[in-house]
Structures are given as C-alpha cells and as structure tokens.
Chains A and B, each alone.
Chain A
Amino acid sequence: MRYDSITEAIGNTPLVRIDPAVHGLRTIDLYAKLEMLNPFGSVKDRAAWSMAGPLLAEAVEHGSQVVELSSGNTAKALAVIAGMHGLGFKSVTNRMRVPEIKDLLLLLGAEIEELPGQSECLDPTATDDPLTLFHRTLAASGSAYLHTDQYFNPRNTEAHLTGTGPEIVKDLDGRVPDWFVACVGTAGSSTGVARALREEDPSVRVVGLVAAKSDFIPGIRTIDEVQEVGLFDPETYDTMESVTADQAIEGMLTLNRRCGILGGPTGGAAYFGAVRHLRALDAESEERRTAVFIVCDRVESYLSYVRQRRPDLLGRPPRRNSPADLSEAEVGGAPSVTVAEARRWIETDRPLVVDLRSPYAYAALHIDGSVNIVDELFAELVRGGLPFSRRQPVLLACPVGEQSARYGALLTRMGHPDVRSLAGGIIAWRDAGAPLVRD
C-alpha cells in the first residue's frame, strides 16, 4: 500500500470476527468494523474528509477557518485536515469532558471554545440559546468560516453510504449482515451504513444505541439529544436501546483484553449493546446469521474517563513512605512548635524552613529565608528516602499546620531527629503579626 497523502488511507478498515468463546453466541457470527484504524483514529475521519475535502480549495483561497461543533473525533480529524492545508480549526462545544482529547486538540493546533452553561436564574431577555447565536455568527461572517455542520450535513451520511456500508458487504463476500449495530452521535455512520445495507437487502435489522439519559459516554448522545440532530431519523432504526457508561466500559474491557481490539468506550457500548440484543435472538433459530458493529475509536484518549469511573481498573501497588500510611496517633504525635517558639528557634538554631504550599502562594508571601517544596513534590522526594541531613533541623510549614504535621510525622518515622511542624501554619504566623515577605 503506497499513498501520496495520508487522507488516501481513510476507509477500507478491517472487519474482524469476534471469537465466539468471548461473546458466547451460538448461531450468530459477530464482526467488528474497526473504524478506529482510520489514520486519525476514528470513524469520523470519513465524515470529516467527505465534508471538508471538496471545500478546501476555496477555503484556502479565502483563508477561512474550519469550524465545527464537536467534542472529539470529528474535531481531531478536521484539525489535522485543516492543518495539512494551512487552515486554522476551531471547535465549539460544551461536551468536551475528556481532558486528554482537549489536550490532543490543542496539540494539533485547534482552538477550543466552550459554550456557557445554563443560566441559574431564568432570563426572560435571553433571545436565543448559545447554539443559535453560534449559527447566526457563522451566517453573518460570510466566507470567513468553513462550517462542516456535521449534525446536518448530508455528506456526513454519504461517506458511510458510499464507503463504510459497501465495505461491510464486500468483506462478507457480498452478503448483507442480518443485524447492524451502531452507536448514535451525529447519526451519520449509522444512517449511511443502514441505507447502503438496506439497498442490498431490506431485511437487515438496524439497532441504534444511545447513552442512558443521565449518563455520559463520550461521542454518543442520549435519547433526547439525538432529537436535536438533523441527520437523525427514528425510521432508520428498527430499535433504539440505551447503554450505561459502566456497560460501555465493561464492553470496552472485553474488546481490549480478550479480543486485542484497543477500542474506546463507544466501541465498548456497541459491543455490549450488540451482544445484549443478540443474546435473546440467538436461541430462536439454528440458522447461521451475522451481525456487524462499529468500533469508533481508540482507548488511549479515555484513560481519565476510566480513572474517574473505574479507578479500580488502573490500580497500582501501594507506595513506600507515603503520608497516607500514617496513623492518626502518629500524626497527632508529630513534633510541633507555636509561632512564637518557631521565631525563637529560627533565631537560635537556623532550621531549614520548608514551605509546602504552591509556588504561586509562596511567591506572593512567605517566611523570610524559607525554601519552597510544594507538597506533591515533597511526597515524591521522601519516597526515595530522607531528603535532608539528619544534623539539619527542619521546620515544616503549610497553610494551617495539617499537612506539615503529616510530613513531620513521616520524616520522624523515617529517622529524622529534629523535624517540627509549624502549628497553625502560615495563617497562624500571619495572624500573630509575624513578618511575611515577597522577595
């Protein structure tokens, strides 16, 4: 395979059979369409290229910025495509809740704007919602923007009608699967594929999956949110079912660990939803049938999403020398000094004064002559052993004397003979009228 441009590598993704030992269906062959193997990482590469491609020449001529309402994958593909053509890209959204994706977009040179939240007090003078205002701005600006409009643009659907759908049929040796299962975000992939399959064989059953209403699965919508999508038509689906975030992660784990398919939560949701739907139908006949679901994107971008919901999956062995291991008695017994004692002690014995606050707070005001080692860094430092000589007395200070007591107890346990915590912290120091400086 030799290409002149990376965009030629979009499409023609593999269709991989899921081992029946994993899904447990007796009569149904289940296949995953690996859209995650598109060059920019997701099913949205097709739509982005289909929508933006034909307009790029003109956009380049006018120096237009590409804009889209997108929380992730479409933005990623468009950011790359725009960048390759020397254009800027801006994503407007309030759904981008996964930090890695935000960072990745910024890295790719995208500009991100978050829409404001709902007003706490209903504002009767508010003329329009932020989205309407966004559309109005675009309309008013003429050719300054190339708006791909993925929720309404028929070229989104078309990319799948002419690409994804026919590829599935070709890889099944000209046969149409009995079921097609897809998550619904813009509805572009599910609608396009469904149309392509039905043109070949109208008996295909299409299952649309949405996120459970109060749940959040990146990339898909809830049953209410899909109603706001121009490409969404309830007639496309034989059934709509919902998947919770936990189920999506469960499905994702199965794909990742047992199938070697490193798909993200949407792929997990599709797998989970497919198996759940098909299990009931598995017994009803002995005939061999096939089902296809889509794995939209890759797991790597969702680690913080997983960490938030299933921290157990990212568990690490306990650490050495951690202040978390101290008993309350040890913390309570940590040597401490009052502000007055500390001031005298500093005069006579010159202890090393360690300020555990953030560098910003330290820079604003601190005890003269102190050093700043922010608590997180300090925790790293002590993991490896005592960071000071045992002959050097140490005074630890934090805002209210709580953290310093913990670290004082820890250093004492680690064998430091003269470490003390400033009781009441920098706040007590200030309240006692002791001097704080700004160098």
Chain B
Amino acid sequence: MDGRPLYLEPRLEPRLRSLVAAHGTLHSIVDALGSPLHVVVPDQIAENLERFRSVYRSHHLSGQVFYAHKANRSSALLRRLAATDAGVDVASLGELQHALGAGFSAGRITATGPKNPEFLWLAARAGVTVSVDAVAELDQLAALVRKHTLAPVRVLLRLSGFESSGVKVLSRRSRFGTPVRELELLLEAVERHADAVDPAGVAFHLDTTSVTEKATALEGSLAALELCRSRGLRPRAVDIGGGFGIGYLAEREQWEAYTTALTAAVLGRRPPLTWGGHGYGLRNESGTLRGTLGLYPAYRSVAGAAYLDELLARPAASLGGRPLAALLLEHLYDLHTEPGRALLDQCGLTLARVLEVRTQEGGGELLVRLAAKADDIALEDHGVLMDPVVVPRGGAGPGDVPVAVHLFGSLCLETDLITRRTVFLPRRPEPGDLLAFANTAGYAMDFHATRAQHQPAAGKVAAWQDGDAWRWCLDDQFWPITPARGAQ
C-alpha cells in the first residue's frame, strides 16, 4: 500500500455513538446471545419520524409518513413506531400481519408491492389502503370485495413512466405501476368498479437518487390527479414512495480521497484497494476509465428528511414554476411518503466477534476472520462502504498502529468476504474483540440473511438508554411499555 490509511469512518449521531462506546454492554450481549448480533435502537426511529414530520410542518403539508417495513424485520422498531402517529407500508402478507399485530390500525397501513390473493384479501378485509399496480390487480381486488361482500377498499393508483416537458428525463424502467399514458384505461376500470373501490389518489416509487426524476414524477402525479378530478373523482392524496437515502459517512474528504484512490487503483496507478483488484464496476480500457462506480454514494450531504425538503422545494416547470410543496398545499392534497432506509438511519448496528487475525507471509494486509457470514452484514450487497468500529475485549490493545485488513466471514466459501474492500483500522484487532458495523438497520441487517451451512443467522436485540446506562431485551420482547424503558 502507499502508506496512508484510507479511512471511511461511519457517521454516528449521539445515540448510536453512545451505544458503540458501551463496550461492556456490547460484549456481554454477544457473550449471551452469540455472534453475529444485530442491535436496534427503537427510540431513534421515532426521532427520525419527527424529522420527516417537521419537513411536513414547515411546508404546512398534511398526510402520513409510512415506514417501509421491508427494510427491516424488527418487531421492536415496528412497535415503537406503532406508539407514534406514523403509518406503515407493507409489501407482503407477513408484513401486513406483523403490522396489525404491532398495533397499527388499518387506517395507518398501505399495502404496496407484488400481492398474492391472500395479501389482497386480508388488506381488503382489514380496510387498509391498497396501492394498485395495474388494471388486472384492480379487477382482482374488486372481485374479492364483491365476492366476500366487503366494504369498498381505498386505493391509490400507482403510476410509472412519467414524462417531462421540454427536457426529457430518461428514467429507469420499473416493474411496478401503470404507465401514466395508460391512466385513462386505469380510470375506466376505477369507474367500472365504483361500488368496490374508493380512489384516494395516486402513488409512485422511483428507485433513484435523482431529485430531478422524482420532481418530474411528482409533477406528473399532480397532472394525473387533475385528470382524476376532471372525470368527477375526488382524489385527496399523492404518495411519493421512499428512497430518501442515508448519509453513511462522517467525512466528505474521506469519501473523496477513497474514490479517487480507487480510480487510480483501477487504472493501475497505485496498488489495489480491494480483494483481487475488484473495481466496483469500474474498469480500465487501455488507460481510460470505463464503467460506472457501482457504489452507494456513502457520503451524502442531503439525505433523509432533508432530501424530502429539497424535493418539495423544486419548482414545477409545467405548473407555473411554483414549488411542488406549494402546489400540493394549494391543491389541498395530502402528501404520503414511504421512507424505509431513511427512517432507519442510526437505528442499529451489527456486531461480529473476531475469531482469527492472520499475518500473511511476506506482509501485506492482515486476514481477519469474523464469526459472521457476509449476508449477516449486507452493507456490501448495497454497495455501502464504511469502516467497522473496533470494540476491544480487554483494555488497551497492542499498540495503536493503523493496519490494513481483509474481513472474511465464517462460511467455507472463497466468496464469503464481509467486504471486498481493504479496510483500514486505527489499530490491529485481536481475537475476542468485536467489530461494530454501524448503521446497518436499513436493508443491511436481515434482508439477505440465510442459515447456510447450519450457521446461525444473526440474532436481534432492542436497546435503549436508561439514564447513562444501556438496557436491552430480545427484539421480540420489546413493547413500547416494556418496564424500565427509560423516562417514559
């Protein structure tokens, strides 16, 4: 390596920072429950919700923040949210059952995603709002309502393929939603099923970091709502989905230095920064860089609630250049959002015990093996590069010299790398130490986890602050009324 360590230190807000520093607690939980282990921090999700709410308030907007449940299976997080005024967005029968069981009344639930008949029936039966993907799904839902003589179901019409005027914004094709140019057909179906469905508005979810694309979609949604109104419907809401993102890293400079070094490494101008010279999507074609960096933009100055704020402030060119927030408000529409990842910002971490630290013959990076599989710590699956924090077992370790390491998992597979990146740590870890991977609650905890090779999937606990101390219980044992839950 060329000497200087390239750190990617995680962004830690006070609550998570305090948890990472609670070395004794973290070791005792892993001693009790084994490695790997997820720790979620339910109180943080309530705080994140409040940040979204304050953006709503600053634009005078009403409407619901629906937590996108898919991002984490935790019961503790869900139940903590049930004790707030948030809603939940469920994408499967199991998630719907979970939400109902956690205390969400039907009015606070929307059903999105691909739906099987049981999911649709339970949604209709309970009276949750259904985000309808296509005419066929609407037909299916209406048939269920009639056959089982259920009350009319509130539906949002999920749209895709928005087009802008003037400048064409190319959008990634989506599997979901009805293309806006087929909206008339969808509205004809709505009218056909007037006895069975109550069209409450339109929805979209775009998987993109681009505010411009979302602004185009929101502007297109306003036009779609106008079309609904012109046909005599009374829509009330627009649901703009999730995808508000997280800023994972503490320092912009570290991210910039790292990505520049990665580029240089791919071009062969410095030693590799990854296992096997992996380029994260970049490649060298006769000295020119090709491909695209397939990494999550881990340093983001605008993410989460601030991203929503930026989107709402965007002017809508086809509607006189007024900001989108003003247009929503003036049209008396409710704004619904479905943040998943963003609501889980700072809501948890994953702990893994160091099993082995091997020095390579001839020097180079240390080989560090963890009691965890790569799928338990799925940051890499989402392209999120971020250093773990060493939680030492004993007191001071053997010196404070920075080291470069490769992190391996416990599966008997060459591919079981916790990350393909060479990780720099401020000091050498020792067997028995824990590595704490911060901010894993959004998708990186249990979205991918398996029980391959009879190895355990990570357990999960919920933790909260009680004065200066951290307390915890099994995730499933957590309820908002759990005794000794701090200053409740």
Contacts and interface: CB of A to CB of B under 8 A. Distances in A.
Contacts of A123: 207
B383 interface: yes
A106 B289 contact: no
B290 interface: yes
Contact of A122 (B211, B320, B383): B383
Contacts of B167: 96, 102, 106, 112-114
Contacts of B294: 122
B288 A114 contact: no
Contact of A227 (B208, B213, B263, B281): B263
B214 to A, nearest CB: 9
Interface string A343-359: 00000000000000111
B288 A361 contact: no
Of B60, B226, B245, B330, most buried by chain A (CB within 10 Å of CB) is B330
B146 to A, nearest CB: 31
A114 B208 contact: no
Contacts of A430: 332
Contacts of B207: 119-121, 123
B296 interface: yes
Contacts of B60: 399-400, 402
A294 to B, nearest CB: 23
A112 B168 contact: yes
Contacts of A399: 60, 326, 329-330, 332
A117 B296 CA distance: 12
A114 B169 contact: yes
Contacts of A106: 166-167
A26 to B, nearest CB: 36
A391 to B, nearest CB: 30
Contacts of A374: 320
A132 B285 CA distance: 13
B226 A364 contact: yes
Interface in B359-392: 381-383
A228 B287 CA distance: 9
A309 to B, nearest CB: 15
Contacts of B62: 427
Contacts, number: 128
Given A119-B207, A213-B260, A228-B290, A113 B170 contact: yes
A116 interface: yes
B332 A365 contact: yes
B292 interface: yes
Interface stretch (A28-36, A158-166, A229-237): A229-237
Interface in A100-158: 102, 106, 111-123, 129-132
B327 A117 contact: no
Given A118-B297, A119-B207, A361 B168 contact: no
B322 interface: yes
Contact of A426 (B170, B263, B326, B332): B332
B209 A358 contact: no
A389 interface: no
Contact of B213 (A117, A213, A229): A117
Interface string A206-227: 0000000110000000011001
Contacts of A233: 287
Nearest to B299: A214
A402 B260 CA distance: 48
A355 B291 CA distance: 52
A438 interface: yes
Contacts of B454: none
Interface string B3-29: 000000000000000000000000000
A214 B330 contact: no
A430 B243 CA distance: 32
Contact of B327 (A224, A232, A361): A361
Interface string A316-338: 00000000000000000000000
Nearest to B285: A230
A230 B289 CA distance: 8
B319 interface: yes
Contacts of A120: 207-209, 243, 245, 341
The interface centre, meaning the residue of A123, A359, A361 with most chain B CB atoms within 10 A of its CB, is A361
B288 A232 contact: yes
Interface in B207-238: 207-213, 222, 226, 229
Given A129-B292, A224-B263, A359-B320, A119 B331 contact: no
B260 A223 contact: yes
A360 B319 contact: yes
Interface string A184-213: 000000000000000000000000000001
B422 to A, nearest CB: 19
Interface in B245-281: 245, 252, 256, 259-260, 263, 267, 281
Given A129-B292, A213-B256, A227-B267, A117 B330 contact: no
Nearest to B171: A116
B443 A121 contact: yes
Nearest to A91: B167
Nearest to B322: A358
B148 interface: no
B329 A114 contact: no
Given A121-B207, A224-B259, A229-B288, A115 B332 contact: no
A358 B320 contact: yes
Contacts of B287: 233
A251 to B, nearest CB: 23
B147 interface: no
B386 to A, nearest CB: 14
18 contacts: A113-B169, A114-B169, A117-B209, A117-B213, A118-B209, A118-B297, A120-B243, A122-B294, A122-B382, A129-B291, A129-B292, A130-B292, A132-B291, A227-B263, A227-B267, A360-B226, A365-B229, A426-B332
Top 4 closest A-B pairs, CB basis? A117-B210, A361-B330, A129-B292, A357-B330
Interface of A: 92, 94, 96, 102, 106, 111-123, 129-132, 213-214, 223-224, 227-230, 232-233, 357-362, 364-365, 374, 398-400, 402, 426-427, 430, 438
